[in-house]
Amino acid sequence: MMSRELAWRVFAAEFSSSRLELKGEGDKAPSHLVTPLGAMINRLFVVGVLTDVDNIGTGEEPLWRARIQDPTGTFYLSSGQYQPEATAALAKIQPPKFVAVVGKARTYSPEEGTMYVSIRPEKVQVVDITTRDHWVLETSKATLRRIDGMEEARDMSPPSAEELVKLGYGPALAGGVIRAMEHYGNVDLDRYRHMVSDALKFLLPEQSGPEVPEEVSDIPEEIDEEDADEAVSVDKEKLVLGIIERMDKTGKGASWDDIVSEAGKANIERDELDDVTNSLLDKGLVYEPALGRMKII
């Protein structure tokens, strides 16, 4: 009897960068998606903000497409009649909502050299922000563990899964690290370290919406330049959030043109507004319900 596959914890940025699929041999043998850091994913567990959900099928044969945003990017979901529990759940959830998803990795290759990855969910459940924060912490730990495994393997000559196991890494991760090195080559590990660092910033109290001084000039003189820049950034994010909320008069999101116009009145130039809104999107504080519209989560 086959054991149930481990549900890996990976951030969207790592998952969406995966381009190596190992096909299982036999009718029931599982396939695995190997990430650049060596996660051998058949099943995965993710938590984030469900921002969009659409039935592109019919009432009799629904096919739900959904997007879930985590601190690093977006997961794409596809659920139909063969995933009855997840499909029924998606039909009832009105985004935006924090959700937890357990599902299987799926790939689509429309042409040679091109691969898109998505999740076929087995279970979808609405959760709270505490669950999301716990997932971010645990996924950060798991990601750093994979980074450490890659560094250990790079110091070996030749790299060996057996040696990684002796160092305390699980067989699945050890084998995945070697496979990843063979396929992806010299992965930029600093990129993933920065990704984890940025994700962990979501757990800081100030990301929840701190009180901001009425004027930027109220920042104490002893604060250093970097901290001052960060305080100004938070101030402008609060300002733009207020604009989005005020301009969302229909409940369907604020028009981008209205946001640009109002931001201009507050002396926020277009380039700076792009940076601020991108930061708000990355933090999961806003989302785009439709092209050209932005809404607070």
Q: For 91, which DSSP code?
A: H
pLDDT per residue over 45-76, tens digit each? 999 999 999 988 888 888 999 999 999 999 99
User: Taking CA 230 as the corner, what is the angle to CA 229 and CA 235, rounded to the nearest 5 degrees?
Assistant: 95
Ranking 95-104, 127-136, 208-217 by mean pLDDT, the lowest is 208-217
CB-based burial label for 47 (10 Å; 0-12, 13-18, 19+): buried
| Residue 88 pLDDT greater than 70, yes or no | yes
Q: Strand 97-108 vs strand 64-70: parallel, antiparallel, or unpaired? A: unpaired
User: Is the fold of 7-198 the same as that of 207-296?
Assistant: no
Look up the CATH architecture of domain 207-296: Orthogonal Bundle (1.10)
pLDDT per residue over 228-250, tens digit each? 444 456 688 888 888 998 998 88
pTM value is: 0.72
CB 38 within 8 A of CB 146: yes
Of 126 and 59, more confident: 126
pLDDT of residue 270: 86
pLDDT per residue over 151-176, tens digit each? 999 999 999 999 999 999 999 999 99
pLDDT of residue 214: 35
pLDDT of residue 217: 36
Dist CA 15 CA 73 (whole Å): 9
Mean pLDDT of 250-273: 88
pLDDT of residue 30: 83
CB-based burial label for 234 (10 Å; 0-12, 13-18, 19+): middle
CB 199 within 8 A of CB 140: yes
Residue 76 exposure: Cα atoms within 13 Å on the Cβ side:
8
Domain ranges within the chain, ordered by starting residue = 7-198, 207-296
Q: Give the max Cα distance, the chain.
A: 68
Dist CA 226 CA 216 (whole Å): 14
Fold of the domain built from segment(s) 7-198: OB fold (Dihydrolipoamide Acetyltransferase, E2P) (2.40.50)
pLDDT confidence band for 26 (50 / 70 / 90):
low
Both tokens of 158, joined, read: 């030749």
Mean pLDDT of 128-140: 93
First to last CA, the chain: 44
CB 86 within 8 A of CB 116: no
